[in-house]
Amino acid sequence: MKLPFPILLVLSLSVQVCRAQSPGTMRQDSLAVKKPFPKYQILIPATMITYGIVSIKNEELKEVNSNMKEELWTERSHKQLSIDNYLQWAPAVAVYGLNAMGIKGAHNFRDRTIIYGLSTAIMSSIVFTGKSISKEWRPDGSNSYSFPSGHTANAFAAAEFLRREYKDVSVWYGVAGYAVAATTGYLRMYNNKHWLSDVVAGAGVGILSTDLAYYLYPSVKRIFEKKKNKPVVAVPFYSGGAVGVSLVYQF
């Protein structure tokens, strides 16, 4: 395991390319049409999550975690980097930045904001539940909230959000988003905050959350449109140990 980061990056980009070419992802998103449940689309993230869960008890996969830690975090200490705390948000910020520059994505401001809010709510719920149930200790022994990686989940949810919004403009927006997400996951291991399995599962959680948000939103929007009053949507979030609530106002 001489080159852990390039391997992680290649795997991440491979996932992005496979998803870009998978059936059902090449069509224009439509909020007016009820879509079938994306069972094939969620196969990759579900596999990643399964790998992470199995790694908690499987001795061979735990050894893979230990080997990766030794590769990145030896007895010779290195300086930790805090950029992952900010990098995790970059793909989502890019969506709004590109729209502000006139490069339009698949949805308008209201729709994409509520979709991203739904994604964040789903992702935060899964991450919080996973950490509470697994009680997996971090590599640095600081606490038992290692599995899955919240930073990585947030980064990959944002990367999939960027891909879904701009896949019909250029595949390279998605590639860039996934590259940033992979870098975030790598830095979580580099900083000795997460095992490899935490990062893999976190990536799966993030991708799955955004895909579910896009699937659910047409139904959510129809419910909103039946109401006379303009709704305020409250969505919880969890990131890096912080829990809060995001408010999304439909106007």
What would the pLDDT profile of 197-226 be if each residue is shown by its tens digit?
A: 999 999 999 999 999 999 999 988 887 776
74: pLDDT confidence band, cut at 50, 70 and 90? low
Interacting residues of 71 by C-beta distance below 8 A, sequence separation 6+: 1, 4
10-26 burial code (b ≥16 CB/10 A, e <16): eebbebbeebeeeeebe
Percentage of residues in the chain having pLDDT higher than 70: 74
pLDDT of residue 79: 79
Residue 26 banded pLDDT, cuts 50, 70, 90: very low
**SS3 state of residue 232:** strand
Asked if residue 224 lies in contact with residue 207, where contact means CB atoms within 8 angstroms, the answer is: no
- For the chain, give the mean pLDDT: 83
The confidence score (pLDDT) of residue 37 equals 78
Give pTM, 2 decimals. Answer: 0.82
- In this structure, which amino acid lies at residue 18? C
210: helix, strand or coil: helix
243 has which bridge partners? 238
- Tell me the CA distances in angstroms from 71 to 5, 65, 66, 116, 230, one per residue in order: 11, 10, 9, 35, 53
Q: Which two tokens stand for residue 71?
A: 């590769």
Q: The tokens 């290649």 sit on which residue? A: 10
pLDDT tens per residue across span 129-186: 999 999 999 999 999 999 999 999 999 999 999 999 999 999 999 999 999 999 999 9
pLDDT at 2: 45
| Predicted pLDDT of residue 23 | 47
